Structure 1
Amino acid sequence: MPLTLASLAHHSALKLTVLAGDDRLDAEVRWVHTSELDDPAPYLEGGELLLTTGLKLDVEDSGFLRAYVRRLAAAGVVGLGFGIGVGHDKVPPALVEAAAEARLPLLEVPRATPFIAISKAVSASVAADQYQAVTAGFEAQRELTRAALAPDGTGALLSRLAAHLDGWAALYDASGAVLAAAPDWAGRRAARLAGEIDRLRDTPAPASAAVAGPAGTEDRVELQSLGTGRRPRGFLAVGTEERLDTNARYVVNAAVALLTLSLEQSRTLQDAQDRLAAALLRMLLAGEPEHARSVAGRLYGTLLDRSLRLFIAESATPGPAPGAASAAEPRGVPVPVPDFADPLVLLGERTEAAAARCGEPLIAVRDGARLLVLAAEDATALATAIDLAEAATGLSAGLSAAVPAAEIPEAHRQAESALAVAHRRGLALVEHGEVGAGSVMPLLADDAVRAFAEGLLRPLREHDSTSRGDLVASLAAWLSHHGQWDAAAADLGVHRHTLRYRMRRVEEILGRSLDEPDVRMELWLALKVGA
């Protein structure tokens, strides 16, 4: 408990008498300083009880004494102790009047009480407070440690931390999603700090920031990044109505250390699980579901006994990374990506966080610049991945139909096809059932197909540019009417014999027979692509 002037005034051994400022005795005494200077302000920090015998004070000059008291008050002195029996037999009345006017507590120190006795009393109280703070800090650390070892270690730790601070606490994952909060009502409040988390994410861990609480609250919020590497593993937020004092900061630092240790330990486990997930996916893609079941054991529950969907997401402008594994053989080890704005990184982290919150088994594998997610068709985490992919900028994703574990190779083919369609059409997400919807033409709109169409039709276009005949237009009309001479000739406004002559010229120039279905198909697609 902080030492106050009232405590000193009631100290039986000191025998101090309050002469002025008795309404300000609740002021905390941080230290004691003795000075006979008429201006000791430059040597003070504030919060001191100043002791003097008044040897150098002009006690006959009331103006001088008022200025002296004002200087002390301005320097933050909480009280003035005047020792009698050395230079003065009693406290000068003008000094009492000046202290009362400035509302500065003035205490008479009898000759029998040496100044050192007052210093010892204050020093002992400060030491006791510091010992109590350290003891309370160690006890709080023990409580947090016991909580961290509980079955729901994170939740229990946050609950104890919030109770110690008389506020709230929340834990975020690396993507900024709220993993846990205490008390329960704090979850929604913590979620409104996503923007502040994003700003702190760019600072290497460990880092901290003090911010204003969400609108409509009077919270003071402190954010701490968690982790020992360049990339934070998570974030801790604590909200209180008052500024954190030394004891509270000690408790927060203990929580940060425990949470960081927990996250770093889970990192090794996560790496092992990532490798296991990659191995399981390889087995499933190789058509070995029974081997996958034996390896998965109880870790993935009944996941492989359910209908599954395969989700593949990658950059909307994909390019093979040097040494990257093929999609059929994912590596399963998360690739460090320093740019936290990478939507693929956020997609993976938030999908896995959603699975963790719902307790859903999930196989998620980072394969270079790709993310593969295998989940039950009705999984909340899968729905989260789909929603995030549709909302993200710079991603394309493909989703298979629901299949049993034995048909994962087919699901992979479906997801790859859907992803290719998403890239071709410039869409964020395409499901397997949507691949057949719409026209096939957008799927052919790449440089290779256009080059093929241009090369196939070039001889005809060159003929039309130097000779009469309009072979390209005639060919288009004839193909559009399925080889019906009269209808195509009427459409062109020429005699059918003229059209027959033109089609023979087409065959001669191209060296290909229009009686062949494949030839007609290729010419029709070339005309559509080159239109």
Structure 2
Amino acid sequence: MHNVYMITVQALLGRPQLHIQSLWCPNPLAKLRWVATSEQINPATFLEGNELLLTTSAGNPEGEGGWLEYAQRLVTGGITTLGFGLGFSHDTVPPLLVQAARKTGLNLIEVAADQSFVALSQEVARMIEVEATSGKYKLTALQQRLIQASAQPRSVDMITGELARGIGALVMVRDTAGRTITQTITPTVTVDLEDLAAESWERFSANMAQLSFETEEGYCLFTAISALGQETAWLQACWTTFPQPWQQQALSQAGLLIASALANSRFAASYQGRLLQRAFTLLLSGELGAAQILTEMAFPDARTLSGRYVPVVVAGEESDLRALTARVERAVIKTMPPPLWRFHADKLEMAIPVAALPLTLSNFSRKEFSALRAGVGQNYPISRFNAGLAGARQALRHTGNTQQVARWEEISRSGLMQVIGRETAAAFSQQFLRPLRGETDLLELLEQYVATKGNRQQMANTLGLHRNTVAKRLEKLQSKLGINLAEAGAQASAWVALQGREP
């Protein structure tokens, strides 16, 4: 990271007393760390980059190619801005230099003959000192706000929000797998920085030794959030312009506070998790009062268990499921009754307030949760919540590669075959009808039996057979299948088998 204070070319041009003007300035927000003066034809060799280079001759390059090479050497060496002084070697800025600046993107400033380079250097130094002093005050004030935020409930969110507002950036906390724990962007940032944040994370995760990234869209910095010497998360901040040193220092200090807050929240989460799982079990047993007591212990400030709740059963990796519960908890307990959940048979079972369901399901469109699958049951009053859990479990069976979320209400409304599932019905059909393989007449008879509800006269008329022939074939059919078609269960099985045949 850069550790010096800098000013912008734009700020310098805003000083009319300096008698300077822009001839070509494609990058007015370019940072200046100091002023250097040189009449050499290749001064970049002796510079570090980001200096304002002042010259009266530029070494007097020869011809258009010479001036272009001079400008290219500056840009390659990290020099963004050249100030050309008049009155010593040239009365006007050489036109070939202006052309070279336009071709290379070099900022070009004209310095009037009555403006000394020394006075210009002194003004730059003064501006940098003012920026440094201002930065110290800003950092001190922000430190106080961050410490206050760390003492608040939901301290990780509070610290992240205060930091984003203080440094004017998009701030994110990610776990080591890259999943977003929390993020905030200050309202003063009008540019969408989420693509930049995602791109820089991909580059960072490939090389974690590099903690800063710069693109045309902006800058991103990373700070490790460590516990016992190991990275447990990463703090990421993205700006449209390169951050000042005080902003970088604030990022580091916020990382220490977030590390402590995460450690505290993990302890609290383990305690809350045990309470919530027990409350969930009591809820299924119909002991609403006991469940309410445990819920209040987990979330003292949350509303009481009331209204209608929706059962949601989610399948996936445990780390993803736990990350999902954290997002749901942060999102809904502010203004709604609290969610409950438990881990049961390698699944996450959740009780979600009806009003919070859209917000909960919106998480499944996020990239980090793309591998999760969810079954959603029908909503019930909290006192009868357990009545909808079976439907949510069944709905989960209908999810797959092409359907991440399935709703029991939609499945049950679509009829028995939708409830059973096409794959299940096809497998049952193959097994049930296997004894009739090659017996076309018996299969046709079974179809008519189901269609006519066992009316032998209608079957005989449709098939063009005598009633006695139909009776004999029915005996053979039932013997082959090992069933008694007079029984309602056998008739239902036959219907499902016929419906489940592959087209």
Shorter-chain TM-score bucket reads 0.5 to 0.7
Q: Which residue does 1:397 correspond to in 2?
A: 374
Q: Which residue does 2:494 correspond to in 1?
A: 523
Q: Which residue does 1:244 correspond to in 2?
A: 243
Residue 481 (structure 1) shift: 0.7
Residue 139 (structure 1) shift: 2.6
Matched, 1:227 2:225: yes
- The letter of the residue matching 1:279 is R
Unpaired segments of 5 or more residues in structure 1?
A: 5-21, 51-62, 80-95, 109-120, 214-219, 316-333, 338-343
CA distance in structure 2 between the partners assigned to 1:302 and 1:513 by the alignment: 57
- The letter of the residue matching 1:419 is L
Q: 1:493 to 1:407 in 2, by over 3 A?
A: same
CA distance in structure 2 between the partners assigned to 1:259 and 1:313 by the alignment: 29
Q: Which residue does 2:186 correspond to in 1?
A: 182
Q: Which residue does 1:384 correspond to in 2?
A: 359
Q: Which residue does 1:496 correspond to in 2?
A: 467
CA distance in structure 1 between the partners assigned to 2:33 and 2:358 by the alignment: 60
Q: Which residue does 1:148 correspond to in 2?
A: 149
- The letter of the residue matching 2:319 is P
Residue 428 (structure 1) shift: 4.2
Q: 1:285 to 1:210 in 2, by over 3 A?
A: farther
Q: 1:101 to 1:199 in 2, by over 3 A?
A: closer
Q: Which residue does 1:373 correspond to in 2?
A: 350
Q: 1:171 to 1:440 in 2, by over 3 A?
A: same
CA distance in structure 2 between the partners assigned to 1:29 and 1:172 by the alignment: 31
Any idea what the Cα deviations from partners look like across 1:369-425, whole Å, max 9, x if unmatched?
633321222x33x222234448986554323333344434333223223333x3499
Q: Which residue does 1:199 correspond to in 2?
A: 199
The match for 1:461 among 437, 440, 443 is 437
Residue 484 (structure 1) shift: 1.3
Show the 5 A alignment for 1:330-341: 335-336=318-319
CA distance in structure 1 between the partners assigned to 2:48 and 2:385 by the alignment: 73
CA distance in structure 2 between the partners assigned to 1:40 and 1:182 by the alignment: 41
Residue 302 (structure 1) shift: 3.7
Contact 1:445 1:529 in 2 (8 A): no
Q: 1:473 to 1:259 in 2, by over 3 A?
A: same
CA distance in structure 2 between the partners assigned to 1:497 and 1:268 by the alignment: 78
Any idea what the Cα deviations from partners look like across 1:227-264, whole Å, max 9, x if unmatched?
33898757544535x43233333233333443444334
Residue 181 (structure 1) shift: 4.0
Number of aligned residue pairs: give it: 435
CA distance in structure 1 between the partners assigned to 2:160 and 2:481 by the alignment: 77
Identical counterparts, % of pairs? 19
Q: Which residue does 1:307 correspond to in 2?
A: 308
Matched, 1:439 2:439: no
CA distance in structure 1 between the partners assigned to 2:373 and 2:245 by the alignment: 50
CA distance in structure 2 between the partners assigned to 1:44 and 1:389 by the alignment: 52
Instruction: Between 408-417 and 387-396, report the one with greater CA deviation.
Output: 387-396
Any idea what the Cα deviations from partners look like across 1:125-173, whole Å, max 9, x if unmatched?
99988995895576356434444346486787567656765x4554567
Does the residue aligned with 1:312 lie in a helix, a strand or coil?
strand
CA distance in structure 2 between the partners assigned to 1:431 and 1:472 by the alignment: 36
Residue 448 (structure 1) shift: 6.8
CA distance in structure 1 between the partners assigned to 2:151 and 2:454 by the alignment: 79
The match for 2:390 among 413, 435, 438 is 413
Does the residue aligned with 1:397 lie in a helix, a strand or coil?
strand
Any idea what the Cα deviations from partners look like across 1:83-136, whole Å, max 9, x if unmatched?
xxxxxxxxxxxxx9559999798799xxxxxxxxxxxx9xx9999889958955
Contact 1:278 1:365 in 2 (8 A): yes
CA distance in structure 2 between the partners assigned to 1:132 and 1:434 by the alignment: 64
Contact 1:481 1:488 in 2 (8 A): yes
Q: Which residue does 2:445 correspond to in 1?
A: 474
Contact 2:225 2:255 in 1 (8 A): no
CA distance in structure 2 between the partners assigned to 1:460 and 1:501 by the alignment: 16
Does the residue aligned with 2:412 lie in a helix, a strand or coil?
coil
- The letter of the residue matching 2:454 is G
Instruction: Between 266-275 and 173-182, report the one with greater CA deviation.
Output: 173-182
- The letter of the residue matching 1:265 is N
CA distance in structure 1 between the partners assigned to 2:486 and 2:43 by the alignment: 112
Contact 2:303 2:337 in 1 (8 A): no
CA distance in structure 2 between the partners assigned to 1:434 and 1:212 by the alignment: 47
CA distance in structure 1 between the partners assigned to 2:132 and 2:457 by the alignment: 107
Q: 1:223 to 1:454 in 2, by over 3 A?
A: same
Does the residue aligned with 2:331 lie in a helix, a strand or coil?
helix
Q: 1:231 to 1:197 in 2, by over 3 A?
A: farther
Residue 483 (structure 1) shift: 1.6
TM-score, normalised to structure 1, is 0.60
CA distance in structure 2 between the partners assigned to 1:163 and 1:509 by the alignment: 77
CA distance in structure 2 between the partners assigned to 1:277 and 1:368 by the alignment: 17
Matched, 1:484 2:461: no
TM-score, normalised to structure 2, is 0.63
Residue 473 (structure 1) shift: 0.9
CA distance in structure 2 between the partners assigned to 1:227 and 1:345 by the alignment: 19
CA distance in structure 1 between the partners assigned to 2:250 and 2:282 by the alignment: 47
Residue 435 (structure 1) shift: 4.5
Residue 299 (structure 1) shift: 3.8
Q: 1:398 to 1:385 in 2, by over 3 A?
A: same
Q: Which has the larger radius of gyration?
A: 1
